Amino acid sequence: MAKKSYRQAIAEALRQEMERDARVIVMGEDVAGGMGAPGEDDAWGGPLGVTKGLMPIFGRDRVLDTPITESAFIGAAAGAAATGLRPVAELMFVDFFGVCFDQIFNQAAKFRYMFGGKAVTPLVVRTMYGAGFRAASQHSQCLYPVFTHIPGLKVVLPSSPYEAKGLLIQAIRDDDPVIFFEHKAMYDEEEEVPDEPYAIPFGEANLTREGDDVTIVAFGRMVGFANQVADKLAKDGISCTVVDPRTTSPLDSDTILECVEETGRLVVVDEAHPRCSMASDIAGLAAQHVFGALKAPIQMVTAPHAPVPFSPSLEDLYIPSPDKIEAAVRKTMAS
Amino acid sequence: MAKKSYRQAIAEALRQEMERDARVIVMGEDVAGGMGAPGEDDAWGGPLGVTKGLMPIFGRDRVLDTPITESAFIGAAAGAAATGLRPVAELMFVDFFGVCFDQIFNQAAKFRYMFGGKAVTPLVVRTMYGAGFRAASQHSQCLYPVFTHIPGLKVVLPSSPYEAKGLLIQAIRDDDPVIFFEHKAMYDEEEEVPDEPYAIPFGEANLTREGDDVTIVAFGRMVGFANQVADKLAKDGISCTVVDPRTTSPLDSDTILECVEETGRLVVVDEAHPRCSMASDIAGLAAQHVFGALKAPIQMVTAPHAPVPFSPSLEDLYIPSPDKIEAAVRKTMAS
Amino acid sequence: MQLSREELLKAYRQMCLIRAFEDTVHEEFSAGNIPGFVHLYAGEEASGVGVCLHLTDKDCIASTHRGHGHCIAKGCDVGGMMKEIFGRADGLCGGKGGSMHIADLSKGMMGANGIVGGGPPLICGAALTAKTLKTGGVAIAFVGDGGSNQGTTAESLNLAKVWNLPAVFVFEDNGYAESTASSWSVAGDLVERGKAYGMPARRVDGFDFFEVWDAAREAIERARNGDGPSVLHVKLSRYYGHFEGDAMTYRAPGEIDAVKAQKDCIALFKRRVTEAGLLEPDQLAAIEDETAREVADALVDAKAAPPPGEAKLLTDVYVAY
Amino acid sequence: MQLSREELLKAYRQMCLIRAFEDTVHEEFSAGNIPGFVHLYAGEEASGVGVCLHLTDKDCIASTHRGHGHCIAKGCDVGGMMKEIFGRADGLCGGKGGSMHIADLSKGMMGANGIVGGGPPLICGAALTAKTLKTGGVAIAFVGDGGSNQGTTAESLNLAKVWNLPAVFVFEDNGYAESTASSWSVAGDLVERGKAYGMPARRVDGFDFFEVWDAAREAIERARNGDGPSVLHVKLSRYYGHFEGDAMTYRAPGEIDAVKAQKDCIALFKRRVTEAGLLEPDQLAAIEDETAREVADALVDAKAAPPPGEAKLLTDVYVAY
Ligand SMILES: Cc1ncc(C[n+]2csc(CCOP(=O)(O)OP(=O)(O)O)c2C)c(N)n1
Ligand SMILES: Cc1ncc(C[n+]2csc(CCOP(=O)(O)OP(=O)(O)O)c2C)c(N)n1
Ligand SMILES: [Mg+2]
Ligand SMILES: [Mg+2]
């Protein structure tokens, strides 16, 4: 076991699954890079270098660069998945889903239902999300609530390098279409990650902190923020449970509801916009199913109902911060 | 004042606004129809005949048929809106948003913010939604939660002919991008609709029933179902407030919260899938802001987390029905 | 002409089966027995059959909203199709898909598609599978004239060429997309578009089964040999409305009757094979009877079959969840 | 050559301004003073300037992620641009857009665009406005070689032709989309694609300002006269990485130096106008100094300018909400 970055953990998962199963292929814009160019081959590995090094091992037949045509190649991944491959397609930034979502939500996600249970579509779409990169409105969105809304998709939000490796391996082995959200501001985060392959099951939440007073449900990068806050508040005698659901679809509602029943207080932290979000999804779940256990109003910490601003001064205010999470916890404790 | 259908009300709104303002244009696939064909001109008016009759009045320069290229023509509508026209574009079925959403959510919706407040984009996208037409998985979706999630868009769900006319006129006069959802199963519903033009402001909920025991918040076609249930339950002594928010974005949260405070009980009826839905959005709102007034768990009535089935036997079970709404009201009354 | 007697019989059989199927669905829809959006392929049979005759189950096709003909040509079970269109529990898709989503992956039929332009990307995927796993298979996208303009289609042409995929794009140009004429909506020329994306492209008279068959043979052979994708631009005509219920006022009076009288693809085939002495008139008549009976039986069965029960509402969303 | 002396001076001034701007942004990014994704236009100046010299504020352009050059060519304020790239409150977009979203609608600059292929549909809209309101305006989409494959672009070509819009599609083919060569990713030929969509299309040497200018003149005139859209396929080269930070290992060693030495568009322009005696060397030198100073001043101002305050976070989402 060694320290690995989120980037390395993802690359390792890809490599190990490609070794294990010859049907696993990787495709996307510049996932190797240098196609047709006079210089170095495997020049890019995607814009942030995640897939670099795969092509020299597995060759161009299994690591496919694509033209900038997301509908065609994400759809091709869906079609390949339905006919016997296990493609991992890179939708570079999730912000680009608007040019190709049909192939994901009307095709891949619905094959099985529309075809009466006869289709199996083991497609993985890896994609970058999240703010904090000064990448402005069209390269910083979260959008996982949109994918979570769609039946037929599974949606994964790894919150650390360890989680990223295990969840990606599960995603690749899974027989349903999976959207795998990688937070672009987390690629350099490091932690101990086992060298051997391991799969983390979907729909099983991870309790990263256990406490008595408040349940914090947080997603993706927000899990780390929630843990920071929990550690800080512990010193003030406020004891928090932090739930990382890992996957928003399927959702481990049982664990979430149990935690809320135990603590009686709920704060949901969602980096996405507030409307029809995971924050409201979890809040609604609790308000319907464990209403009687709730001791205080549910607090939701989200990004605002506004596009992501470019200016660092504004973007820093935009993202849900540990301070805002702490304030929400204190608020629910005070009521 | 005369009885008019939902279809007629929409057509009248379009006609009157086109008369009032020469910058208003209509475009979409077969919105007039017969383009280049040897037979009758204005042959279609869209697949369900809503826009039929506009072209003979306003001509082909203002009623534009398009090729089947939603990205190009919805994007053209966005570009035209940003440069001085007031286009009303028809995205035939909202299910098709996956081939063109980028132009809506990354372009039109974000111009104003990205450009520092200097853009004005008076775009209206009219689109059909909803199940009940035996149109199967790719022609029956609701999807308004997805649009509601996006900052920069306004989202309208008219629940009757009267509402449709007034809200569409407001949509056309509005200076922001508006998505106007027409329920395909409502086109033949009739009610009294004033002949003269009138605008219903956005973000002002309509209380279609007022009562003491339960607040039902319902959207679009579900408002009629909720009213039926309220009328029925009134005979059993259960008195319901029915709130039609009219627009999910902006949302009249004040009115909704006031009603919930008064009744202490909340049922939300949303024809869309349950996850990250308007049902959870409203539930979360109440659980955060009027928690203290709640006397019982919040109930959510939605379609299931499954694509829409074709078979009438399944589709009838799929759609939130008056029976299911009644059961939810009775459940909240019982707890 | 290089078709064997057996192939000729099969071709005629399939064209007649499609025609009988579509005529029957038309009647049943008109009688109010079939719900939903139903788009019929009658008139276009030579295209689906002329192409699919070159294929086996390991080859894939992606169809459009107008999918019945492609299904039959690709070998889908007619009884299962009819049940599907009636929304029955043992329809080909358990009644969950209906007319616009009939599929049978075991036959390489990747589905009718409710999304115009939905199929071409999927076909790039099926072709990629064939290429990667070296199955020897090819993949065919059927696309309408309307669908030819969709961005997904253009992207797929490019991807298929760049990846050198064993794919064929068959543009079935029936003159209309809904009520809009292809002479208006398709700028330029579809053969030129194929060529502009770097691939062989050929215009085909879709009333002439033999011409379709030959052009498809050439394109499919090219694909199988690893020589990449092709485009066929097939001109043909649909006999019914865009969907059932369409009054077709945008078409010229007499337009369809003239086509039927002068160049119905089935009639042309029949004349040609009998005149050339390749098949006997009574063989053909027998096929006509047989296919009519097969469809009639399918109808009776479909009407009698039960709809899916409540238990099916929430199954088949995921393999596991 | 039909450019007036004034136009020649303007062209040179704008090209130098773009070059100075991009070189400065490059240095500032390298020094860690500019955050985010920044794509520079240095090397491609003749294209943006050669096209936009034919335009006035009533004409619209849509740009790409590589937008600075188009902005300057279309008359955007350089000070406001620099502030925007630094995320300052009085940047052209209040600091909310940044490099990838600079726009100035009052100048007909409809925005850089973070979405490849995002611009062409918008340009169809601007052209539709011009046509509908009879403003006499035209609309130009700049698209990269990578963006040429995007479905939105193909759809826009078709729509522009079918609607007979006053539009021009300028494909700026700098040989790469990120690290991928256009010789690989663009199947077929972009001139042929334009023609296949029924419009005039011309290949243009993008190092030669005069050739760009002439081809653009022809296409824009055609559009203004109501004769519909055109395609220009402009071959050129970018001097910096795809975005700032790109090590460009996919390019051949010496590739950029050779271009700079042999056919830098600014150097070629300078040689040509001086050799022909159209402009004096010291006039050109003055412009070089002037533009360098303008950019240097813009940089000083931008660095000194305050960022937007918290109050701006939630403004400008809607006109009214
Ligand atoms: C993306 C999308 N846009 C629009 C539609 C509605 N629609 C269904 S079929 C059709 C016309 C298709 O025309 P064509 O491709 O020529 O096929 P044909 O019906 O003639 O077989 C349209 C507009 C759709 N289903 N999907
Ligand atoms: C829809 C979409 N896909 C991918 C990207 C990521 N991306 C940004 S620029 C670029 C390359 C564009 O190449 P080209 O069009 O040739 O323009 P150039 O950078 O050479 O000017 C890519 C892939 C994007 N921004 N949008
Ligand atoms: Mg057609
Ligand atoms: Mg390029």
Asked if C155 has any chain D CB less than 8 Å from its own CB, the reply is yes
B326 CB near a chain D CB, below 8 Å? no
Supply φ then ψ for residue D149, to 5 degrees.
-85, -20
Kindly give the residue spans of alpha helices, DSSP state H, lying in chain B. 6-20, 54-58, 70-82, 101, 111-114, 144-149, 161-173, 221-235, 253-263, 278-289, 312-318, 322-334
* Per-residue confidence (pLDDT) for residue A1, from 0 to 100: 79
Of the candidates C186, C192, C197, the beta carbon closest to that of D187 is on C197
CB contact at 8 A, B71 and D155: yes
Write down the pLDDT at residue A296.
Answer: 98
Residues of B noted as catalytic: 139
Q: Which residues of B touch D319 (CB under 8 A)?
A: 112, 120, 174-176
Which ligand 2 atom minimizes the distance to the CA of D148? 15
Q: Which residues of B touch C249 (CB under 8 A)?
A: 34, 39-40, 43
Q: What are the angstrom distances between the C-alpha of A6 and each of A48, A184, B200, B282, D246?
A: 12, 10, 51, 36, 21
Whether residue D123 contacts residue D159, with contact meaning beta carbons closer than 8 Å, is answered with no
Q: Do C180 and B133 touch (CB under 8 A)?
A: no
Q: Nearest CA of chain B to the CA of A20: how many Å?
A: 32
Q: Which ligand is nearest to the CA of D69?
A: 2
Residues 6+ apart with CB under 8 A from D107: D57, D74, D75, D76
In A, minimum Cα distance to C100 occurs at A114
Q: How many CA atoms lie within 13 A of B53 on its CB side?
A: 12
In this complex, the chains that touch C, judged by 3 or more CB pairs closer than 8 A, are A, B, D
Please indicate whether, in this complex, the C-beta atoms of D192 and C188 are within 8 angstroms of each other: no
Q: How far apart are CA C294 and CA A201, in angstroms?
A: 49
Say if residue D299's pLDDT is above 70.
Answer: yes
Residue C1 confidence (pLDDT) above 60? no
- Taking residues D207-225, report their average pLDDT: 98
Q: What is the pLDDT confidence band of residue D62, given thresholds at 50, 70 and 90?
A: very high
pLDDT at B115 over 80: yes
- For residue D116 and ligand 2, the question of a CB distance below 6 A is answered with yes
Assess D179–A contact: CB distance below 8 Å, yes or no: yes
Q: Which of B18, B21, B62, B71 to mutate to test the interface with D (most CBs of D within 10 A)?
A: B71
- Kindly list the residues from chain B whose CB atom is less than 8 angstroms away from the CB atom of residue D110: 79, 82-83
What is the number of residues in chain B? 335
Prior bond to B250 cis, omega within 30?
yes
Residue nearest to atom 12 of ligand 2 (CA): D177
- Rg over alpha carbons for chain A, rounded to the nearest Å, is 20
Mutate: best of D86, D155, D165, D321, partner B, most B CBs <10 A: D155
pLDDT score recorded for residue D213 = 98
Nearest chain B alpha carbon to A304: B151
Distance set, CA B156 to CA B77, B153, B247, D182, D234 (Å)? 18, 10, 4, 44, 44
CATH number of B206-334: 3.40.50.920
Mean pLDDT for chain B overall: 98
The predicted-structure confidence for C268-282, as pLDDT tens digits, reads as follows: 999 999 999 999 999
Flag whether residue B152 sits within 8 Å of chain D, measured between CB atoms: yes
C66 lines ligand 1 (CB under 6 A): yes
CA–CA gap between residue C85 and residue C102 (Å, rounded): 8
Tell me: pLDDT of A253 over 60: yes
Chains touching chain A through at least 3 C-beta pairs below 8 angstroms are B, C, D
Whether domain A2-193 has CATH 3.40.190.10: no
Q: What is the pTM of this model?
A: 0.98
How much is the ipTM here? 0.98
Whether C301 and C81 have beta carbons less than 8 Å apart is answered as no
Coil/strand/helix, residue B178: strand
State which H helix or E strand residue B65 sits in: strand B63-65
β-strand pairing of A240-244 with D201-205: unpaired
Residue D166 CA to ligand 2 center (angstroms) comes to 26
The CA-based dihedral angle spanning residues C152, C154, C156, C161, taken in that order and rounded to the nearest 10 degrees? -170
What is the residue extent of each domain of chain A?
Answer: 2-193, 206-334
Identify the residue among D63, D101, D159 best suited for mutation to test binding to B, counting B beta carbons within 10 A and taking the highest. D159
Residue B335: pLDDT band with limits 50, 70, 90: confident
CA A158 vs. chain centroid, Å, equals 5
Residue-wise pLDDT tens digits, A21-79: 999 999 999 999 999 999 999 999 999 999 999 999 999 999 999 999 999 999 999 99
Q: Whose CA is nearest to atom 7 of ligand 1?
A: C116
At residue B199, the pLDDT reads 98
Please tell me if residue D157 touches chain C, with a CB cutoff of 8 Å. Answer: yes
Q: Is A73 in the pocket of ligand 2 (CB under 6 A)?
A: no
The model's confidence at residue D1, banded by pLDDT at 50, 70 and 90, is: low
Provide the residue type at A319 as one letter: I
Q: D158: which chain B residues are within 8 Å (Cβ-Cβ)?
A: 67, 69, 72
The pLDDT of residue B1 is 78
**Alpha-carbon distance D294 to D281, whole Å?**
20
Radius of gyration of chain B (CA): 20
Nearest CA in chain D to A310: D96
C-beta of residue B69 within 8 angstroms of C-beta of residue B153: no
D89: amino acid identity, one letter = A
* Residue among C149, C185, C196 whose CB faces D189 most closely: C196
Contacts of A280 in chain B (CB under 8 A): 276, 280-281, 283-285
Q: Do the chains contact at D96 and A68, CB–CB below 8 Å?
A: no
Q: Hey, what CATH topology would domain C5-253+261-305 get?
A: Rossmann fold (3.40.50)
Residue D178 Cβ contacting ligand 2 at under 6 Å: yes
- Cα distance between residue D202 and residue D153, in whole Å: 17
B290: alpha, beta or left? (left if phi > 0; alpha if psi -120 to 50): alpha
User: Do A2-193 and A206-334 agree at the fold level?
Assistant: yes
Do the chains contact at D122 and B154, CB–CB below 8 Å?
Answer: no
Mean pLDDT on D250-270: 97
Q: Is the CB of D144 within 6 Å of ligand 2?
A: yes
State phi, psi for C206 to the nearest 5 degrees.
-75, -5
A290: Cβ contacts below 8 Å, ≥ 6 apart: A257, A260, A261
Decide if B116 and D94 are in contact by the 8 Å CB cutoff: yes
Q: Which of D94, A124, A100 is nearest to B118 (CA)?
A: D94
Residue A45: which of A126, A100, A103, A104 has the closest Cα?
A126
State the distance from the centre of ligand 3 to the C-alpha of B75, rounded, in angstroms. 24
The tokens describing C31, both together, are: 């009688």
Mean pLDDT confidence for D280-288: 97
Residue B58 has pLDDT above 70, yes or no: yes
Residue of A nearest to C153 (CA): A72
Cβ of residue C48 lying under 6 Å from some atom of ligand 1 = no
Residues of B in contact with A143 (CB under 8 A): 149
Instruction: Find the Cα–Cα–Cα–Cα dihedral B182, B186, B190, B196, rounded to 10°.
Output: 0
Mean pLDDT for the stretch of residues A127-139: 98
C40 Cα–ligand 3 center, Å: 12
Q: Does D253 touch chain A (CB under 8 A)?
A: yes
Whether B72 sits inside 8 A of D315 (CB atoms) is no
Average pLDDT over residues B220-235: 98
The verdict on whether omega for the bond into residue B47 sits within 30 degrees of 0, i.e. cis, is no
- Which partners does chain D have (≥3 C-beta pairs < 8 Å)? A, B, C
Q: Nearest CA to D175 among A34, C98, B67?
A: A34
C151-171 tens-digit pLDDT: 999 999 999 999 999 999 999
Neighboring chain D residues of A69 at a CB cutoff of 8 Å: 149-151
Task: Give CA separation, C103 vs A114, C68, C74, C77, C217, in Å.
Answer: 9, 10, 10, 10, 24
- Give the Cα separation of C130 and C107 in Å (integer): 15
From the list D35, D184, D312, which residue is nearest A314 (CB)? D312
d(CA D42, CA D240): 7
Q: Mean pLDDT across the stretch A120-135?
A: 98
Question: What percent of chain B shows pLDDT beyond 70?
Answer: 100
Distance of CA A81 to the CA centre of its chain: 21
As a whole number, mean pLDDT of residues D219-234 equals 98
CA distance D321 to A40: 52
Cβ–Cβ below 8 Å for B176 and D121: no
As a whole number of angstroms, the distance between CA D63 and CA D114 comes to 10
AA letter at C234: V
Rounded to whole angstroms, the Cα distance separating A172 from A81 reads: 11
Chain-chain contact of B148 with A288 (C-beta, under 8 angstroms): no
Q: What is the mean pLDDT of residues A270-297?
A: 98
Q: What is the pLDDT of residues B159-205, one digit of tens each?
A: 999 999 999 999 999 999 999 999 999 999 999 999 999 999 999 99
CA–centroid distance, C293 to ligand 3, in Å, is 30
Chain D residues in contact with A314 by the CB 8 A cut-off are: 87, 95-96, 307-308, 310, 312-313
Centre of ligand 1 from the C-alpha of residue B90, in Å: 14
